[in-house]
Amino acid sequence: MIQFLDLKKINEPYEIAFQEKLNAVLEKGWYILGNEVSVFENNFANYCDAKYCIGVGNGFDALVLIFKAYIQLGKLRKGDEVIVPANTYIASILAIVEADLVPVLVEPKLETYNIDPDLITVKISSKTKAILAVHLYGQLAEMDAINEVAKANNLLVVEDAAQSHGAKFSVQCSESSVQSSFPETQNTQIATPNLVAAYSFYPGKNLGALGDGGAVVTNDSELAKTIRILRNYGSEIKYHIEYIGVNSRLDELQAAFLNVKLPNLDQENSIRKAIANRYLTEIKNDKIILPNVSLRETKQSNNHVFHLFVIRTKNRNELQQFLLDKGIQTMIHYPIPPHQQKAFENWNNLSFPVTEKIHNEVLSLPISPVLTDDEVSFVIEILNQY
């Protein structure tokens, strides 16, 4: 059986280093917000070419704390509207709600599965104060266009980078172009000094811990300081509570594991890109719609780090069973769109045809740094037989 994601195999090369880190943490006896967290925050900020990284409990908390920090700083108010893709994973939307803000759904582009910048303006009202751009499946949203809309309408932009560790715009772009998102390549620049992105280190991510973990990355010193305080009960000085905060701190041991894995992230992303390139060039079946990613981009840039390789087909369930019968495990990301979830009954009568089409047709193929050439060849062979 070709597993969709073999986490044990992914982490096997790191087992000795993990054990050494575990022993070091046990020996030191410091388990919360210690040296490993500080080192990782510094390492990941540097990796992202950003000034600040704040480790938190998980990717969901990273988003919530960004919004709550903006409220604390007076840049958002409870009840403000936040534009968000209609086809995102539910956590993006739940984070907006958790911060007492109002999500406003906008359709994605069918070609990229990311939010359609041309449709954002239509949904902007007097209550709209922010855009949550989600880099779905590991492909960056169109941040240049999104930032233009935001600037024209005086909106904040928050990036949900939970699936896009290592994604960046190509250095082939003009030096005068405004670049966006973390991390940045050499010869590129941050689009705005207040740019902020939320990351998840859930085990299945391109950079995954051995448990939950997350981080906020930003160049905004005031925002970074506020999030650091909010993540620790609202306290900067012990027993002195400045804000109504929460307990959401990146675990010392998980930070230690992430410090071990971070140096290999680019190499592992390159393997993902190589597998994606084979899928894109060798899968030839008119029943299957491949991701709309240019081969030039796949080979030369990191605009897409292929956290997931997502195809579409009319008979998704039939194809999934066909593959399973041949020994290939796949996943559906995601079977039910947010507006059709029971938790959001007030949205259940809304129509988002592009989103619904995506959720009814997508199927994620195996893709990971430990997938062998023979396994990739077998997946391609079977898909071409369908």
Question: In sequence order, what DSSP letters do the residues of 31-65 get, joined into one string?
Answer: -BS-HHHHHHHHHHHHHTT-SEEEEES-HHHHHHH
Question: Do residues 334 and 359 touch, judged by C-beta distance below 8 A?
Answer: yes
Class of domain 263-385 (CATH, top level): alpha beta
Question: Do residues 168 and 181 touch, judged by C-beta distance below 8 A?
Answer: yes
Rounded Cα distance between 182 and 17, Å, is: 27
pLDDT digits (tens, 9 = 90+) for 243-294: 999 999 999 999 999 999 999 999 999 999 999 999 999 999 999 999 998 6
pLDDT at 170: 39
Class of domain 7-106+113-261 (CATH, top level): alpha beta
Task: Show the tokens assigned to 67.
Answer: 């919004």
pLDDT at 195: 83
pLDDT digits (tens, 9 = 90+) for 78-135: 999 999 999 999 999 999 999 999 999 999 999 999 999 999 999 999 999 999 999 9
pLDDT at 295: 53
pLDDT at 377: 98
Question: Region 43-54: what's the mean pLDDT?
Answer: 96
Task: Show the tokens assigned to 142.
Answer: 């169109």
Q: What's the whole-number average pLDDT of the chain?
A: 92
pLDDT at 39: 98
Query: Going by C-beta distance under 8 Å and a sequence separation of 6 or more, which residues neighbour residue 205?
Result: 162, 163, 165, 307
pTM attached to this predicted model: 0.93
60 pLDDT tier (thresholds 50, 70, 90): very high
Which of 133-142, 172-181, 208-217, 322-331 bottoms out in mean pLDDT, i.e. has the lowest?
Answer: 172-181
In the predicted structure, residue 373 carries a pLDDT above the cut 90 = yes
Rounded Cα distance between 147 and 178, Å, is: 9
Task: Show the tokens assigned to 27.
Answer: 């020996």
Question: Do residues 307 and 137 touch, judged by C-beta distance below 8 A?
Answer: yes
Rounded Cα distance between 344 and 305, Å, is: 31
What percent of the chain lies above the pLDDT cut of 90?
Answer: 90
Give which of 271, 283, 358 is closest to 328, Cα–Cα. Answer: 283
* Residue tagged active-site, from 68, 129, 168, 205: 205
173 pLDDT tier (thresholds 50, 70, 90): very low
Ordered by start, the domain boundaries in the chain are 7-106+113-261, 263-385
Task: Show the tokens assigned to 278.
Answer: 């084979």
Give which of 69, 72, 46 is closest to 56, Cα–Cα. Answer: 69
pLDDT at 305: 96
194 pLDDT tier (thresholds 50, 70, 90): low
pLDDT at 356: 98
Q: Could you confirm whether 205 is annotated as catalytic?
A: yes
